[in-house]
Structure 1
Amino acid sequence: MKFQGLAAGAAAAFTLLSTSSAFAVTEISWWHAMTGANNEVVEQLSKEFNESQGDYKIVPVFKGTYPETLNAGIAAFRAKQPPAIMQVFDVGTGVMMAAEGAVKPVAEILSMGGGTFDKSQYLPGIVAYYSKPDGTMLSFPYNSSSPILYYNKDIFEKAGLDVNNPPKTWPEVWEAARKIKTSGAASCGYTSTWLTWIHLENFASWNDLQYATHENGLADTNVELKFNSPIFVKHFQEIADLAKDGVFRYGGRTSEAKQIFLAGECGIFTESSGGLGDIVKSGMNYGIGQLPYEPDAKGAPQNTTPGGASLWVFGGKSDEEYKGVAEFFKFLSKTDIQARLHQVSGYLPVTLAAYEETKKSGFYDKNPGRETPILQMMGKAPTENSKGVRLVNLPQVRDIQNEEFEKMLAGEQTAQQALDNAVQRGNAAIQQALGN
């Protein structure tokens, strides 16, 4: 702290400095994208940390959707006014990794606070996704998720479907969705958030299919997209046909479809496990099932890949701020905090200890289906096709995919044309981003 224009003597200056230091609290800004029940969790965790000590104050700031938050962070960095912590969704991992010098690795941050990051204590799939090829952990796993199937039990009962047996394969989903529509149990059978994440990226990993070369970008950045093979085309053409018949209803590119499901308009819904909080809060009589798989895929089901987000730390902050960030990350790593975050939100328990504690407490026995997203991700050792997708410009590639899907759903092109266009345009965008 600099004090200018002080004319008082040394004793008075010492008194002033001592008094200021005694009450000085270092504020740490945390930009995030959480809404609804998940925003309440962010506010509560920040409040608990702030009350647990008197040196640092976490100030959570909602910045919009995941893409909006990422764009806000990039703009703030360019203006040299970034937050200390920013929540970045999985798609932005490649973007953040490419911004050398803009961020500080989480391991470095924790060491500044006298701690270490023990990767062995975290779920392996999550650690691998947020690390560099050399194993350096770059960001702090906060709200990791896996896509799962939700269904409205009351609608299932009206349609004559088994309320205790949700569909396990995509053909079973299509059949149940058509029955919901034709029976009049609901105005639509099926809807989904995040078509790019659930129906492309996780469709690839869950069915052990190649999305792109070089382990989907985890082994090398110069990748070629490959998701226009026949099995992908078949899947998306089935969605297009359902949309034409009014059985599938498109809500939007991100999580907009959640409101369609919560309103009781559709009986089946695929969404992040992190969307559970709002579904529970709605009072709906719901059920949970695994993410459906494609029975024609030889390796299915394989494993899903983590979605959600992690916490990145920007460079250019003071050592005192970094010490505060380290303390906050240590707070978030506590077993009881991680277990509670998992249980109230539907996000995965990112530490093994939190998972074991939750299991030991009988939580999964009392809440059927809540272990499903964890088992999906941990069920099998990842293959080259199922470690996740990491592109230098994945948000841009997703925008391209969404543009082509929306034309397909509007009846302007076939699934083959949509995927061919998305691959061609996506590959060109990747090369441009690489400067080739």
Structure 2
Amino acid sequence: MNTRSLITPIALSLALFAAPAFAAPKSAKPAAPAAASADIEISSQLPKDKQEALQALIARFNESNKGARIVLTDRAWDAGAPAAAQILDGASEDAFLTGKQRYKPLFAVVKDAGVKLDVAERASPVVAPVAIDAKGRLLGLPIGLATPVFFINQDVFRKNGLDPAAVPHTWAEVQDTAGKLIDAGVACPLTVARPATVLLENTAAWHNEAFVNAKGEVAVNGLSYVRHLARMASWQKSRYLQLFGHGDEAVDRFASGSCAMLIAPQSAMPVASKGGFSIGVSALPYYQDVPGAHQNTIADGPALWVSAGRSAAEYKTIARFVAFWLEPTQQVDWMRATGYLPLNRAGYFAASSRTLGAELGHIKIAVDQLIATPATANSRATVLGSSPRVLQVLNDELDSVWNQGKAAKLALDEAVARIRALGIR
């Protein structure tokens, strides 16, 4: 049985932005140093830039912590003996949560260590279902939340006679801009990272369209889905749109200067900015003729899980590390280095400040997409939307549209049929 299916889809909130996730009691004394001096391993296979940011965070913690050191390893969670904690996402997280319980709930870890866990009163349904139990308590900590936004290479716009400050806001504007770029000789006007997540799940939520129907089944073959995919297919044929893979390959193409526009998670900014050109960021495009647009997008990302069966000293060090991670200074450094969303209110306020507004503007745009409009029954995140098996089917069928010319309606009908045949709910 998949443990994920037992987790109530009350997500770790963007009430993370409305109330602190962790706060030490005012009367509490600093925790005593851990008795053990052995290194405490956290394993992770984050992308290189995120891994480097995590290593820097751990180094700062180790300098301030009078006790055991935390060490970061780059390995799969099931490659050898389990680490004291692991950062997991996608298929690796799904496998970790399948079968016997391999983790100690984070709320228990911090409670035993004397760190108060403040559960937000209002959980947000726009964060993909993660490690939250039926009582709203954290089982794991989502450390890398992200949602898709729109990037442009302002230098390419300027060079080809387009206003670099005019980031397209609607799909019609994107089409018009792509056409002008093609006419100017730009080989790749637009590319999209994580196309199944962006073009189906998030575009649906942004337009208040259900991704999952009342029966709990994926329902991506309605008229609005077909219309959107058919438009994307026509763009791909005319080379307005180019696709490079199911993950973040498109981000590298944009960073290289090959593509003028990019739709990708806001966490792509650190890599995208390595291209050395000016970048404009705006919200995900929307259709003006769809009632209810724009609604909200959905956030997902890797989470920290603490292994079961460790010593009290290890748990105490991990709890202190989590508390350290949530300090405002660390939050700012983490957001700057990774592009991930803030983990609590302090991080959100920092990202919204005038001092950091320009540097972290992409994060504020992402947060606004998530919380500016209250989510509806149609626009909420679902377990199926973050299921690796569901995403694989959707990507397969999208590939058949891009590479084989399959009709949008047929591809989406077959995607729905295949997912239902898998029995995933």
Q: Is the 8 A contact 2:148 2:366 kept in 1?
A: yes
Work out the CA distance in 2 between the residues paired with 1:395 and 1:373.
23
Q: Which amino acid aligns with 2:253?
A: I
Q: How far 1:234 sits from its partner (Å)?
A: 1.1
1:35 partnered with 2:47: yes
Q: Which residue of 2 aligns with 1:426?
A: 419
Work out the CA distance in 1 between the residues paired with 2:396 and 2:198.
16
Work out the CA distance in 2 between the residues paired with 1:392 and 1:270.
18
Q: Which residue of 1 aligns with 2:11?
A: none
Equivalent of 1:284, from 277, 282, 296?
277
Q: Which residue of 2 aligns with 1:176?
A: 177
Q: Which residue of 1 aligns with 2:187?
A: 187
Q: Which residue of 1 aligns with 2:394?
A: 401
Aligned 1:289-308 pairs, distance under 5 A: 289-308=282-301
| Deviations 1:44-100, CA, capped at 9 Å, x for gaps | 00111111113222222234xxxxxxxx43x45xx7x22222222367766665555
Q: Which amino acid aligns with 1:144?
A: L
1:319 partnered with 2:320: no
| Deviations 1:150-200, CA, capped at 9 Å, x for gaps | 10012112333221111111222122122212211x211100110122112
Q: How far 1:344 sits from its partner (Å)?
A: 3.2
Work out the CA distance in 1 between the residues paired with 2:94 and 2:379.
17
Q: Which residue of 2 aligns with 1:68?
A: none
1:337 partnered with 2:338: no
Count of matched residue pairs: 392
User: Percent identity, aligned pairs only?
Assistant: 27
Q: Is the 8 A contact 2:193 2:245 kept in 1?
A: yes
Q: How far 1:385 sits from its partner (Å)?
A: 2.1
What is the DSSP-based 3-state SS (H/G/I as helix, E as strand, rest coil) of the residue aligned with 1:299?
coil
Bigger CA drift: 152-161 or 264-273?
A: 152-161
| Deviations 1:266-293, CA, capped at 9 Å, x for gaps | 1110111111111223312111111112
Work out the CA distance in 1 between the residues paired with 2:133 and 2:92.
14
Q: Is the 8 A contact 1:157 1:163 kept in 2?
A: yes
TM-score (norm 1): 0.82
Aligned 1:31-430 pairs, distance under 5 A: 31-63=43-75, 72-73=76-77, 75-76=78-79, 81-89=81-89, 99=99, 101-120=101-120, 124=124, 129-130=129-130, 131-184=132-185, 186-213=186-213, 223-365=216-358, 368-391=361-384, 394-429=387-422
Structure-2 change in CA distance of 1:128 and 1:279 (3 Å): closer
Q: How far 1:141 sits from its partner (Å)?
A: 2.4
Work out the CA distance in 2 between the residues paired with 1:140 and 1:60.
17
Structure-2 change in CA distance of 1:383 and 1:331 (3 Å): same
Bigger CA drift: 142-151 or 84-93?
A: 84-93
Work out the CA distance in 2 between the residues paired with 1:49 and 1:328.
7
Work out the CA distance in 2 between the residues paired with 1:289 and 1:381.
20
Work out the CA distance in 1 between the residues paired with 2:245 and 2:394.
13
Work out the CA distance in 2 between the residues paired with 1:241 and 1:410.
12
Work out the CA distance in 2 between the residues paired with 1:138 and 1:22.
23
Bigger fraction of residues in helix: 1
What is the DSSP-based 3-state SS (H/G/I as helix, E as strand, rest coil) of the residue aligned with 2:136?
coil
Structure-2 change in CA distance of 1:418 and 1:128 (3 Å): closer
Structure-2 change in CA distance of 1:40 and 1:121 (3 Å): farther
Work out the CA distance in 2 between the residues paired with 1:139 and 1:311.
6
In structure 1, stretches of 5+ residues that fail to align are 1-20, 64-71, 215-221
Structure-2 change in CA distance of 1:48 and 1:22 (3 Å): closer
Q: Is the 8 A contact 2:205 2:295 kept in 1?
A: yes
Work out the CA distance in 1 between the residues paired with 2:277 and 2:48.
16
What is the DSSP-based 3-state SS (H/G/I as helix, E as strand, rest coil) of the residue aligned with 1:86?
strand
Q: Which amino acid aligns with 1:223?
A: G
Q: Which amino acid aligns with 1:424?
A: A
Q: Which amino acid aligns with 2:146?
A: S
Q: Which amino acid aligns with 1:225?
A: V
Structure-2 change in CA distance of 1:391 and 1:91 (3 Å): farther
Work out the CA distance in 1 between the residues paired with 2:224 and 2:128.
27
